[in-house]
Amino acid sequence: MVRPGRLLAGLLAGCLLPVGMLGGLSGGAAAAGGGDPARFTVALLNEVDSFNPFLGIEVESYEMWALTYDYLVDFSTEDLSLQPSLATDWESSDDGLEWRFTIRDDVTWSDGEPLTADDLAFTYSRVLGKGPESATWKSWLAGVTEVEAPDDTTLVMSLSRPNSVLPMVPIPIVPQHVWSEVSGEAMKSFAAEPTDGAPVVGSGPFRLVEGTAGGSTYRFEANPDYWNGAPHVDEVVFRVFKSEDPAVQALVKGEVDFVEGISALQVDSLEGRDGVLAQNADTPGFDEISFNAGSVDLETGEPIGDPNPAVLDPEFRFAVGLALDRQQLVDTVYQGAGRPGSTIVPPGYATFHWEPPAEDLAHDPERAAALLDEAGYTVGADGLRTLPDGSPLGTLRLFARSDSATSTKVMAYFKEWLADLGIESEVTTVESSKLTDIILAGEFDAFEWGWFVDADPTSMLSYMTCDQRGNWSDSWYCDDEYDALFEAQGSELDPEVRAEQVKTMQETLFRDAPYLVTAYNTTGQAVRSDRFACLLQQPAETGQWIFQQGTHTYRSIRPAAEAGDCDGATSATEAAAAGDEEGPGAGLLVGAGGLVVLLVAGVAVLVVRRRGTAEDRE
């Protein structure tokens, strides 16, 4: 029998020695510049779920498609205004039933084929069809009956009714000569990933050369012939970290150049460091407390579930909203990294955002109590409020999501504020998927959740319509005037008139209060500014550096040593003075070697001691 002692020493030495030797050979990533390729490495906190733009849903996947493909139009970094992209020019007929786009003629696919209007017609036609493509994107082409390309640079859309979302169609354009061979059945599991070194055929600023859905590394090479200017880095690499702390540690160590999705606490910890730039960036979304505004059986119109009569009353909901201390939520729950919320269209979308009067957003418990009294919810002998008919109001059932610390904390505050008004409630914490079931059954009074809002607010506005009850509507809100306005703005071709309609809709929602918008969230991002400069924010000053509408940062970013003035981009980040990077070198070897020696020596001592004691015993 092998003596365990000796076996162990051999094992330890065998394991650790090569590691020690290796330690000297490879340190962190080489600093960009010099003869090495400039590689921008980004830590993501979630995998790409599909590189096929007709299948994926994760925000990370959208980012990959944007690097690989082009779109009909683009959005500026400054204020997300519309910019030409594949379409240089567009016009619609007076009745809005025909749109003509002029398509660029200087774009080539990565395999050398020219990109023409046919590729756009092909992509949109697939979406209008029946397969998984349409399950994903069809709503964006609402009213479109046919898309044709009369010649290489002209695209014509025919519509049965006007569609005000046009030309803002966020569908990536895929090459017809590759995708026409994918049948509807095959599309269900078509990966669109690189195989054996052949990159994915796309027209975007970068080319995917390595990566699989659900994998942990995605590598892109720059497209030197990009029609909108070649990128200034050679490679962009994404590495998936499954938790925040190691990702931040990797940034500090220099294994990655960029981290995203980190907490305000992490941003604080990074802010003082040399060579690191960190920020809490505005995200295009909001968090809200949603009430059950009237769950019904959609077939019969009969009420389902068991909402408290109070939450069905818009006056009650609006009054309760005045008891919210949004600033306190931002300061405590959001650790200061957020803004008090107001409506379902975030202020970043300045064209469409409606700002309620300050007094209606204020934390005003006295006014809340007065409004409740006025509406008949008076305080009974036991100090608790009653329903207008005099019966006890009972206990409101509030739900928080177990996968979100924010959700549970916000609901804890909400419970307190309700108690201050004389309303009892209990908070139950459940998983998101379970909450979805509860919402669909109508067995709740209120819950906490949030939404991301697209550059065009149509999708968010649609979730509050009667048609979406039982589908995406989670508040069961239904209001005929609101629905009429939704239809009208969807066909309104005058942008100013449409903006007014969208603002009116927000006001309606604010007064009826199916949602109490609690906060506009931010997300933490940080970059090694001693290595890379010229990152752009979208919108300017407050927005994110990556996960934008478009690929602005990836195209403008430069190695710090060659940044210069970033081609005059005013809002770009500047290079930090490169600090002394602790290059792992001789010290590391000595350290690792020392560790190994220590361990082996320790084991040896044990072995020797064991022999000794054994002999003593004999």
Partner 1 sequence: MTLAASAAGPEGALAAPPRARRSRGGYGRYAGGKVLGSLGSLAFVLVVNFFLFRVLPGDPARTLGRGRFSSPEQLEQFNAAYGLDEPLPQQFLTYLGNTLSGDLGISLRYRVPVADLLVDRIGPTLLLVGTSTLLAALVGMWLGVRSAWARGQRFDRLSTGASLTLYSMPEWWLGLLLIATLAVGFGPVPGLFPTGGLHSVDVDPWSPGGVLDVARHLTLPVLTLTLAYLADYALVMRSSLLDELGSDYLTTARAKGLRDQAVRNRHAVPNALLPATTVIALNFGFVVAGAITVETVFSIPGLGLLATEALEIPDYWVLQGAFLVASVGVILANLLANLLYGVLDPRVRT
Residue with tokens 């959700």: 407
* 291 phi, psi to nearest 5 deg: -95, 165
Half-sphere exposure of 147 (CA within 13 A, CB side): 19
Q: Residue 228: which residues within 8 A CB-CB, separation 6 or more?
A: 205, 555
Rounded least distance, CB 128 to partner 1, Å? 12
Q: What is the identity of the amino acid at 11?
A: L
Is residue 197 at the binding interface for partner 1, with CB under 8 A as the rule?
A: no
Is residue 429 at the binding interface for partner 1, with CB under 8 A as the rule?
A: no
Looking at beta carbons only, is 16 or 540 nearer to partner 1? 16
Looking at beta carbons only, is 134 or 378 nearer to partner 1? 134
Rounded least distance, CB 326 to partner 1, Å? 23
Is residue 241 at the binding interface for partner 1, with CB under 8 A as the rule?
A: yes
Q: Which of residues 215-234 bind partner 1 (CB under 8 A)?
A: 215-217, 219
Which residue, 583, 610, 616, 594, is CA-closest to 29?
A: 583
Contacts for 86-94: CB closer than 8 Å, 24+ residues apart: 86/115, 86/120, 86/173, 87/155, 87/167, 90/167, 92/162, 92/166, 92/493
Residue with tokens 């389902």: 304
Q: Residue 12: which residues within 8 A CB-CB, separation 6 or more?
A: 599, 600, 603
C-alpha radius of gyration, the chain, whole number: 29
Looking at beta carbons only, is 118 or 530 nearer to partner 1? 530
Is residue 454 at the binding interface for partner 1, with CB under 8 A as the rule?
A: yes
Looking at beta carbons only, is 127 or 281 nearer to partner 1? 127
Is residue 8 at the binding interface for partner 1, with CB under 8 A as the rule?
A: yes
Looking at beta carbons only, is 381 or 614 nearer to partner 1? 614
Rounded least distance, CB 410 to partner 1, Å? 19
The site for partner 1, by CB under 8 A, has a size of: 86
Q: Which of residues 331-360 bind partner 1 (CB under 8 A)?
A: none
Q: DSSP string spanning 243-278? A: SHHHHHHHHHHTS-SEEEEE-HHHHHHHHTSTT-EE
Is residue 162 at the binding interface for partner 1, with CB under 8 A as the rule?
A: no
Of 5-13, 286-294, 493-501, 528-536, which segment contacts partner 1 by CB under 8 A?
Answer: 5-13
Q: Which tokens in the block code for residue 421?
A: 């008004």
Residue with tokens 């993501």: 44
Rounded least distance, CB 416 to partner 1, Å? 28
**Site for partner 1 (CB under 8 A): which residue of 229, 297, 471, 507?**
471
Residue 50's alpha-carbon distances to 54, 130, 171, 173, 441, in angstroms, are 9, 20, 15, 16, 31
**Site for partner 1 (CB under 8 A): which residue of 243, 299, 383, 568?**
243
**Site for partner 1 (CB under 8 A): which residue of 35, 112, 197, 214?**
214
Rounded least distance, CB 19 to partner 1, Å? 6
Q: What is the identity of the amino acid at 442?
A: G
Given 3-state DSSP classes, what are the helix, strand and coil percentages for the chain, each rounded to the nearest 5? 35, 20, 45
Rounded least distance, CB 575 to partner 1, Å? 23
Looking at beta carbons only, is 260 or 364 nearer to partner 1? 260
Q: What is the identity of the amino acid at 216?
A: S
Q: Which of residues 20-39 bind partner 1 (CB under 8 A)?
A: 22-23, 26, 28, 39
Rounded least distance, CB 582 to partner 1, Å? 6
- Eight-state DSSP code of residue 188: T
Rounded least distance, CB 30 to partner 1, Å? 12
**Site for partner 1 (CB under 8 A): which residue of 245, 297, 306, 416?**
245
Rounded least distance, CB 506 to partner 1, Å? 18
Using DSSP, state whether 446 is helix, strand or coil: strand
Of 299-307, 389-397, 452-460, 486-494, which segment contacts partner 1 by CB under 8 A?
Answer: 452-460
Looking at beta carbons only, is 89 or 403 nearer to partner 1? 403
Is residue 437 at the binding interface for partner 1, with CB under 8 A as the rule?
A: yes
CA angle 363, 368, 371 (to 5 degrees): 150
Q: Which tokens in the block code for residue 194?
A: 């690189």
What sign results for the dihedral spanned by CA atoms 539, 542, 548, 550?
positive
Is residue 145 at the binding interface for partner 1, with CB under 8 A as the rule?
A: no
Label the pairing between strands 277-282 and 515-527: antiparallel
Using DSSP, state whether 145 is helix, strand or coil: strand
Of 101-109, 465-473, 485-493, 562-570, which segment contacts partner 1 by CB under 8 A?
Answer: 465-473
Binding mask 47-86 for partner 1 (x = CB under 8 A): --xx-x--xxx-----------------------------
Is residue 370 at the binding interface for partner 1, with CB under 8 A as the rule?
A: no
Is residue 273 at the binding interface for partner 1, with CB under 8 A as the rule?
A: no
Q: Give the Cα separation of 81 and 84 in Å (integer).
A: 10
